[in-house]
Chain A
Amino acid sequence: MTTKTILLVEDNPDDEELTLRAFRKNNMKNDVMVVRDGVEALDYLFATGKYEGRDVVDLPQVTLLDLNLPKLSGLEVLRRIREHERTRALPVVILTSSREERDLVEGYRLGCNSYVRKPVNFESFVEASRQLGLYWLLLNEVPPSSAT
């Protein structure tokens, strides 16, 4: 099984660094593609804009999506992903520091696969990342539509 890409949509470089560090500490070897905002996330997924020419069939194993994003919000990105035939089954995990219930409810309504809170305590964060990686990267079968 080839290691698949993880798409990390995160505008905060601190959080990006900490997330990657957490992945490393959990020995996750996957490539991590980091995009900075919602628009870039969609460009990447649909091979448009600055990612034009990218193989659209090559979808990430999982997308980690922050909610507070410049340009397009995380929830809007999620809505677009679920709208599109090709990306409908793409695993999306919302990764956010928000504890607001409405975010959680709205996220599930729009079809996110999981909702992970980013704890302040890094150890907790590492633990959350570990569980996330185990589940989505090791256990979960990738939907057939994304397979070549």
Chain B
Amino acid sequence: MTGQFGTGAVIRRAVVIFVPLALIAWSVLYYLYAQQVTSSRKIIANDQATSVEIARQRVAATINTIKSDVAYLGHQEVLRQWQAAQTPATVQALEREYLSFAENRRLYDQVRLIDARGREVVRVDAAGGGYKLVPPDRLQDKSDRYYVTDTLKLSPQEVYVSPFDLNIEGQKVETPYKPMIRVAVPIFDENGATGGLVILNYLGQRLLDRIRPLKGKLAGGNDVWLANDQGYWLIGPHPEQEWSFMFPGQPQYTFGQNYPAAWQQARGKSGQAHQFWADGDFFTVMGISLSLLRMDETGPAIDAKPTWYLISHMSNSAMMAQTAESRKNHILAAIAFTLLLAGGALGIAYYQMQRRQAEKQLWSRETQFRHLVEAAPDAIVVTDKSGKITLVNARAETMFGYDRQELIGQTVDILVPPRYHAAHQRHRDHYVAAPVPRAMGADLELYGQRRDGSEFPVAVSLSPAETDQGMMVFCDIRDVTKERRAEQEIADLNANLTRDNTELAALNKELETFSYSVSHDLRAPLRAIDGFSQALEEDYGDVLEDRAKQYLSRVRQATQRMDLLIDDMLELSRVARADVVKRNVDLSEMATDILKQLAEDGRQVDVRVQAVRPANADPRLIRIALENLLNNAWKFTRKTDAPRIEFGQIEEDGQVVYFVRDNGAGFDMAYAQRLFGAFQRLHDAKDYPGTGIGLATVQRVMAKHGGRIWAEAAPDRGATFYFML
């Protein structure tokens, strides 16, 4: 049953099944993967936000500490005393104070007091791991420095924070680099005029060291970078790129140079952290503003222009690496699903095709079956075990006069005359118990009943069929009205025939008896006539006249002729009644024998007998026929000069035709019709005596053999008798 559909069809069907399922599976997998990517990005974003926030807190803590320190220095009693009286004593007090402060804090490179004219008043420098006072002769005028001028412009409560840069010593960037943040507060006299400033040089390396190690928990990025307001790297992706703004004339490296799109987004925004995609990378950038702080504020100013940017960054490739494992898993899953689905689809497709094929075949077989049933010349009724009709054909509808809807579901009894119902039920039960195919029940006289109640004789053949609905009985019903009528007619004919036969036999018997009596009783008077005529002749010849003797002679001739007639008639009737027992007969030998007997009368006749093919005939009857024919030939050549008699055969249409030919008197073909009738004579009895029965007897013999006889002749030119058996 398999292999009836092509591989192509299976694959097409499999594709139809596979594609939607695969799309769904792929979509789900993609969705899961996207979720993972999203959450991974969230994690990255959170991680970055956390890093940046920690950095911000560290920056804020540092700045606040410095701010507190500088505020503390700006409010010292010793500073007030110096303001009141700028004496060596007050200066010394400050010197002591600042030195002790620097040594205690150990955060600053320089602690200084600068007067309103910009000259250093007190200066403590970090030196060799400790601090020392700079002697007065080494104090410098810093009035031209930006941090001095900027600070002196401030109002009370404001704090100056310098840009983060590298310390310059003697016009050169001090090496190793000394990152520096200068924080200063202005000091005012009693009149509110600016009386100078206190300034702390914060060693920025300390802050950088606290920020630089900040990294997210995730590998491959999220370290925290620091850039100044121009975007120059203070902590950057590459250490050699840091602080480039300190070296004019050398290559400059900025956040904006390395990540232009990100810089575009982040530039000028301060306060909250901004997270964004730029050039495929992910950034968290927080701008913090430090340049101008107020004493009463904590933390970096929010609304000001950013002075620093805290940056956390994850490159696209690093980000991809984050989800690489997940991607790999999802791709593997997708492949596995694809394979599974493809296999499954193929299997399902094959199964479906097979089932469809089977259904189609089933359908076509069922259709065939129904067509066959429908086309059947007989009425077909299919019933279940209980006799309920499940299927009928059109012939059944017309035969019984019902529509099929009326029949289906009924028991088959509806088609059977009521008086047979009980017997029919028994037959059915019996049949169901031992179901075997049963041919048209010629032995049973069965009747069907039409819807109008009329009955008709039927022949029924039954065949059981095991189906999935149990055993069904297939009934083939034939209306045998005509057959029954024909049978009746045959029976009537047979009866008639039997009666006729009996009559015929009786008649035959009668005829036989008749012939027998003719042979005995008709002869006795003849014998008496002949005998006594002769007795008269012999005993009273001397007293009789010649005429009387002549009369007696005529009487005797007549009786003898009558005797011949009786003999021939008896022979004819004997032949007619005889049974034909055929065997091979040599007709040439038989003819020779007969002619020899005929030749005993001494006549000279030219006799020619061919050797002929043996005939299959009754020897006794065929001898009678041959004797008659040869006798005739002998008789009718009596007056012929050079008489000749031939016996032989010719072939006609592949059959042997025997003939007896003479050159004697012959006859006129006009009378040929009468030739074979009884008592028919074509010649004068004076010339050729005879009874006219001989040829009738010959024809009877031929008829008894299923053969025939005919003649060709002309007057005085002989006759030829042909016969075939």
Contact = CB atoms under 8 A, between A and B. Distances in A.
B520 A14 contact: no
Given A21-B535, A99-B567, A120 B527 contact: yes
Size class of A's contact patch?
20 to 34
A100 B534 contact: no
Contacts of B534: 122-123
Contact of B527 (A68, A98, A99, A122): A122
Residue of A98, A99, A120 with highest tally of chain B CB at under 10 A? A120
A121 B535 CA distance: 12
Contacts of A68: 520-521
Contacts of B559: 120
Nearest to B620: A101
B560 interface: yes
Residue of B520, B523, B531, B534 with highest tally of chain A CB at under 10 A? B531
A12 interface: yes
B420 interface: no
Contacts, number: 60
A125 B570 CA distance: 21
Contacts of A96: 520
B520 A97 contact: yes
A98 B528 contact: no
B530 A100 contact: no
B519 interface: yes
B531 A97 contact: no
A125 B531 contact: yes
Contacts of A125: 527, 531
Interface string A88-105: 000000001111100000
B526 A120 contact: yes
Contacts of B242: none
B436 interface: no
B516 interface: yes
A134 interface: no
A100 B567 CA distance: 10
B519 A118 contact: no
Contacts of B532: 14, 18
Nearest to A19: B531
Nearest to B533: A122
Contact of A98 (B520, B526, B531): B520
A18 B520 contact: no
Given A120-B530, A120-B563, A122-B530, A98 B519 contact: yes
Given A14-B528, A121-B530, A99 B563 contact: no
A83 interface: no
A12 B526 CA distance: 12
Contacts of B527: 14-15, 18, 97, 118-120, 122, 125
Contacts of A15: 524, 527-528
Contacts of A121: 530, 556, 560, 563
Nearest to B538: A25
Interface string B507-546: 0000000001001110111111011101100000000000
Nearest to A14: B528
A12 B529 CA distance: 13
B313 to A, nearest CB: 148
B608 to A, nearest CB: 33
A57 B535 CA distance: 37
Interface in A103-140: 118-123, 125
Interface in B562-604: 562-563, 567, 570
A18 B523 contact: no
B524 A14 contact: yes
Contacts of B530: 120-122
B526 A100 contact: no
A19 to B, nearest CB: 9
Contacts of B521: 68
Contacts of B567: 99
Contact of B519 (A17, A21, A100, A122): A100
Contacts of A100: 516, 519
Nearest to A66: B520
Nearest to B570: A99
B524 A12 contact: yes
Contacts of B525: 14
Contacts of B519: 97-100
Residue of A15, A17, A21, A121 with highest tally of chain B CB at under 10 A? A121
B535 A97 contact: no
A66 to B, nearest CB: 9
Nearest to A13: B528
Contacts of A118: 523, 527
B531 A21 contact: yes
Given A18-B528, A121-B530, A125-B531, A97 B560 contact: no
B506 to A, nearest CB: 19
Residue of B520, B528, B532, B534 with highest tally of chain A CB at under 10 A? B520
A58 B528 CA distance: 32
Nearest to B566: A120
Contacts of B535: 18, 21, 122
A64 B559 CA distance: 25
A125 B556 CA distance: 14
A120 B560 contact: yes
A119 B532 CA distance: 14
A97 B517 CA distance: 10
B531 A18 contact: yes
Given A120-B526, A120-B560, A14 B516 contact: no
Contacts of B520: 67-68, 96-98
Contacts of B528: 12, 14-15, 18
A97 B530 CA distance: 14
Nearest to B524: A12
A17 B301 CA distance: 193
Given A15-B528, A120-B559, A122-B534, 16 more contacts: A12-B528, A14-B527, A14-B532, A18-B527, A21-B531, A21-B535, A68-B521, A97-B519, A97-B523, A97-B527, A98-B516, A98-B519, A98-B520, A119-B563, A120-B530, A121-B563
Interface of B: 516, 519-521, 523-528, 530-532, 534-535, 556, 559-560, 562-563, 567, 570
Interface of A: 12, 14-15, 17-18, 21, 67-68, 96-100, 118-123, 125
15 contacts: A12-B524, A12-B528, A14-B525, A15-B524, A68-B520, A68-B521, A97-B520, A100-B519, A120-B527, A121-B560, A121-B563, A122-B530, A122-B535, A123-B534, A125-B531
